[in-house]
């Protein structure tokens, strides 16, 4: 009798839970947009403004916060709970009954409602986005962590005194218990390089309070962990923000919204790199689950947010996922995300590592690093191994921080392309390892050799720049054969040709935007930004 009552209770409890729907409420406008853009210090930190200026990233309406008056009014609506907000999308994530959510459409400031359960949306409805505008050497004893950093030549960057100093990384994850007390992060705390944190899921400034998952602690250790003569992470001298957006015991699309909210916070704080060892496809409520076709880098809320984070100048590093042949999760599918697969200690494909597919708009994964039997520091302060792309991603993110420290004038897109080009199988990528295992020593050397083209005699000239229809390339007299390759800002090759003398190339069919022009001659290799008007 008891078991039958329990079953009935669980049945009706489940009906109650699934009767509550999740939806995004897209708002009609923002407050004081022009004034905020003209005075960005009121909406962004100076570091964020400086980073955008350094990389040519425009400050636009998406940087302006959501109108708090609208949010306050939404909270007073019958049956509505506000769970997250996004300035990039000018949207609010709410939960309530289907009827109560649909009733919000009568509010003057509500532009559109999109349910997480796509069956509740009108066919063909696409969310609008009104703001989508066109020294001394450093020597470490890595101990057990040696293989995972040496595999990608990250130790060579440390030897060049590039260990992440001056680079800020936001770690978006599921929980960070004991990071504030354990010995493996004592060096990080003593140097005051934990800059802050926030638990978006529980709305708690104390990011260490929730102990339901130590996943974030393990992830952070691969970058920032340090135990003398036993363990060193890939970016021990970077600075970090810790953001919890994932509630490990369950899966709900609000976690996508909280991820976007955390990414927006990271952008406002001037973060350079986001590491996210999270992924979303299957939900507790099957009506919310994403199909394979949804994993096209353009459909899911979190992937659209990740692409905006990329547009804002941040380098977003995400784990490919642990679903093997079942494919990627979001936001690993996004073109603006640097997606990391996993290999074992010998560099062989790890069978759990999620594989890319033709659904993605760009090659996925991008590259792969050690994710099988990766060494981590657990919340107990003991060193052990763990499996998952959750660890290959931060190993790579920390190494990228060191590379960007060494090459501060490059953009996020240029850093990503540089790493792809110097990976082990760049000329024959696949859905298992992407472009292969990176060689960051080679990437550094190649990056240091990049120089801007100067319009002086006996040098290569590219003009006009910006270009509208015709691009003219004038070669130096000593250059006999030249290869010209043009990449879009996501690293996709859009043009390739060989020149034997100065020539004019028709680029009228290319979309407007920023491109990377790679010119290889017998005497030099030059990479230059090209702007197509």
CATH number at residue 350: 3.40.50.200
Claim to verify: residue 419 and residue 489 sit in the same structural domain = no
3-state secondary structure at position 195: strand
Claim to verify: residue 56 and residue 158 sit in the same structural domain = no
Residue 141 lies in a domain: no
Claim to verify: residue 77 and residue 159 sit in the same structural domain = no
Q: Give CA–CA dist 416/437, Å, rounded.
A: 13
Claim to verify: residue 158 and residue 285 sit in the same structural domain = yes
Claim to verify: residue 254 and residue 340 sit in the same structural domain = yes
Is the CB of residue 113 less than 8 Å from the CB of residue 106?
no
Domain boundary among 85, 120, 155: 120
Q: Can you give the pLDDT at residue 170?
A: 98
Contacts 24+ apart (CB under 8 A), 346-351: 347/151, 347/424, 347/437, 349/432, 349/433, 350/387, 351/324
Q: Can you give the pLDDT at residue 53?
A: 86
Is the CB of residue 298 less than 8 Å from the CB of residue 304?
yes
Residue 398 lies in a domain: yes
Residue 441 lies in a domain: yes
Claim to verify: residue 251 and residue 320 sit in the same structural domain = yes
Claim to verify: residue 493 and residue 441 sit in the same structural domain = no
What is the tens place of the pLDDT at every residue in 474-523?
766 555 678 888 888 677 888 888 876 667 788 888 887 778 888 887 76
Claim to verify: residue 251 and residue 334 sit in the same structural domain = yes
Claim to verify: residue 101 and residue 203 sit in the same structural domain = no
Residue ranges in the chain whose pLDDT is less than 50: 1-2, 11, 13, 15, 123-137, 451-458
Claim to verify: residue 418 and residue 471 sit in the same structural domain = no
Q: Can you give the pLDDT at residue 457?
A: 41
Residue 325 lies in a domain: yes
Residue 125 lies in a domain: no
Place of tokens 């070669």: 475
Residue 455 lies in a domain: no
Residue 295 lies in a domain: yes
Claim to verify: residue 426 and residue 378 sit in the same structural domain = yes
User: What CATH number does residue 469 fall under?
Assistant: 2.60.40.1930
Who contacts 513 (Cβ-Cβ below 8 Å, separation ≥6)?
A: 488, 489, 531, 532
What single-letter DSSP state applies at residue 45? -
Claim to verify: residue 240 and residue 371 sit in the same structural domain = yes
What single-letter DSSP state applies at residue 136? -
Q: Which domain holds residue 205?
A: 146-449
3-state secondary structure at position 177: coil
Place of tokens 């069978």: 351
What single-letter DSSP state applies at residue 290? P
What single-letter DSSP state applies at residue 291? P
Residue 7 lies in a domain: no
Residue 14: other Cβ atoms inside 10 A:
12
Based on the structure, what is the number of domains in the chain? 3
């Amino acid at each position: 009798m008891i078991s039958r009552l329990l079953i009935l209770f669980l049945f009706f409890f489940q009906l109650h839970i699934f009767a509550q729907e999740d939806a995004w409420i897209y708002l009609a406008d923002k407050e004081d947009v022009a004034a905020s853009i003209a005075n960005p210090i009121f909406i962004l930190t100076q570091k964020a403004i400086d980073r955008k200026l350094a990389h040519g990233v425009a400050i636009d309406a998406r940087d302006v916060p959501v109108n708090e008056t609208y949010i306050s009014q939404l909270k007073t609506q019958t049956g509505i709970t506000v769970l997250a907000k996004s300035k990039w999308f000018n949207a609010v994530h709410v939960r309530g009954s289907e009827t109560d959510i649909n009733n919000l459409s009568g509010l003057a400031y509500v532009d559109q409602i999109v349910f997480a359960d796509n069956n509740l949306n009108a066919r063909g409805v696409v969310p609008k986005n009104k703001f989508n505008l066109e020294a001394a050497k450093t020597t470490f004893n890595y101990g057990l962590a040696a293989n995972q950093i040496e595999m990608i030549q990250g130790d060579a960057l440390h030897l060049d005194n590039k260990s992440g100093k001056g680079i800020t990384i936001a770690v978006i994850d599921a929980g960070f218990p004991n990071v504030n007390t354990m010995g493996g992060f004592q060096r990080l705390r003593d140097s005051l390089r934990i800059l802050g944190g926030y638990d978006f899921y529980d709305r708690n400034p104390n990011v260490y309070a929730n102990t339901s998952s130590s996943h974030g602690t393990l992830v952070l250790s691969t970058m920032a962990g340090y135990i003398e003569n036993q363990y060193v992470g890939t970016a021990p001298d970077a600075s970090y923000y810790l953001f919890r957006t994932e509630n490990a015991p369950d899966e709900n699309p609000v976690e996508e919204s909280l991820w976007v909210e955390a990414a927006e916070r990271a952008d406002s704080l001037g973060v350079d790199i986001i590491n996210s060892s999270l992924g979303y496809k299957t939900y507790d409520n099957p009506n919310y689950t994403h199909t394979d076709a949804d994993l096209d880098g353009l459909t899911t809320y979190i992937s659209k947010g990740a692409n905006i984070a990329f547009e804002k100048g941040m380098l977003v590093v995400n784990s490919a996922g642990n679903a093997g042949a079942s494919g990627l999760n979001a936001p690993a599918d996004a073109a603006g995300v640097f997606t990391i697969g996993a290999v074992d200690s010998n560099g062989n494909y790890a069978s759990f590592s999620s594989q890319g597919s033709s659904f993605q708009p760009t090659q996925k994964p991008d590259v792969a690093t050690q994710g099988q039997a990766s060494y981590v520091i657990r919340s107990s302060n003991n060193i052990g191994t763990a499996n998952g792309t959750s660890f290959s991603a931060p190993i790579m993110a920390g190494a990228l921080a060191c590379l960007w420290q060494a090459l501060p004038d490059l953009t996020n897109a240029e850093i990503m392309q540089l790493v792809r080009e110097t990976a082990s199988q760049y000329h024959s990528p696949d859905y298992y390892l992407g472009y292969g295992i990176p060689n960051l020593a080679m990437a550094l050397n190649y990056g240091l050799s990049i120089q801007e083209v100067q319009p002086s005699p006996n040098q290569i000239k590219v003009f006009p720049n910006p270009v509208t229809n015709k691009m003219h390339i004038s070669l130096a007299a000593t250059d006999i054969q030249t290869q010209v390759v043009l990449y879009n800002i996501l690293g996709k090759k859009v043009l390739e040709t060989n020149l034997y003398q100065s020539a004019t190339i028709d680029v009228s069919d290319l979309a407007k935007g920023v491109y990377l022009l790679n010119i290889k001659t017998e005497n030099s290799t030059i990479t230059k930004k090209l702007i197509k008007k």
